[in-house]
Chains A and B, each alone.
Chain A
């Protein structure tokens, strides 16, 4: 079992709709959770971080964390064509807490259809 799992996609969502991206992780000791966005041919950039159970909102983005289910998700409201990218889920576990030795999922490719 992979440590961090994501559906590879592609996930196609109409413009203006909600895009929902999901990630599961295997290490129950995981403490910190991140979503990175990577445009084609570019390097990843951080868009959300979440550390506690529940929702965290930042503009059109909402990260959701459920540690009991070992599940983290990213919702993108009012999807725009500029949101078309690969979204990487990254997790830091208890053993590594205090450093940034992140474990990344393989990413979900999102396409927003105009």
Chain B
């Protein structure tokens, strides 16, 4: 079974603190993603990465950065946490589309990290 592990299920931080959210996958997937999920807004893509040391901005990258030094690990960084970053953060991974028909691979999600910024 694919396993995507997020380091912390629940975090409480103060405004201005630096926050690291870690994600590790064990299926040798090339692609990794960070989403946040908020009521009424659904899942929104923050950053994604298709390879080690590669990163691309998603739809809401402001206030976030990422790091992918190893294939299995994708970290989300909040340089200076703010209250509007209180949310559920979901990491996901997938393999590239199949060469035969370019169908999209399944996204596998971690259990989520619920961050509260006071």
Residues of A near any B CB (own CB < 8 A): 8, 32, 34, 36, 42-46, 49, 51, 88, 90, 92, 97-102, 104-107
Contacts and interface: CB of A to CB of B under 8 A. Distances in A.
A22 to B, nearest CB: 15
A101 B60 CA distance: 13
Nearest to A41: B112
Contacts of A51: 103
Main secondary structure of the interface of A (DSSP, over half): loop
B43 A44 contact: yes
Contacts of B50: 99
A106 B37 CA distance: 9
A104 B102 CA distance: 20
A100 B105 contact: yes
Interface in B36-87: 40-45, 48, 50, 58
Given A43-B111, A44-B109, A101-B48, A107 B90 contact: no
A105 B104 contact: no
A23 to B, nearest CB: 12
B106 to A, nearest CB: 5
Contact of B106 (A46, A92, A106): A46
Contacts of B16: none
Interface of B: 31, 33, 35, 40-45, 48, 50, 58, 90, 94, 96-97, 102-107, 109-112
B32 to A, nearest CB: 10
A23 B6 CA distance: 30
Contacts of B45: 101-102
Contacts of A99: 31, 48, 50, 96-97, 104
Contact of A100 (B31, B44, B90, B110): B31
A45 B74 CA distance: 20
A8 B40 CA distance: 8
B108 to A, nearest CB: 8
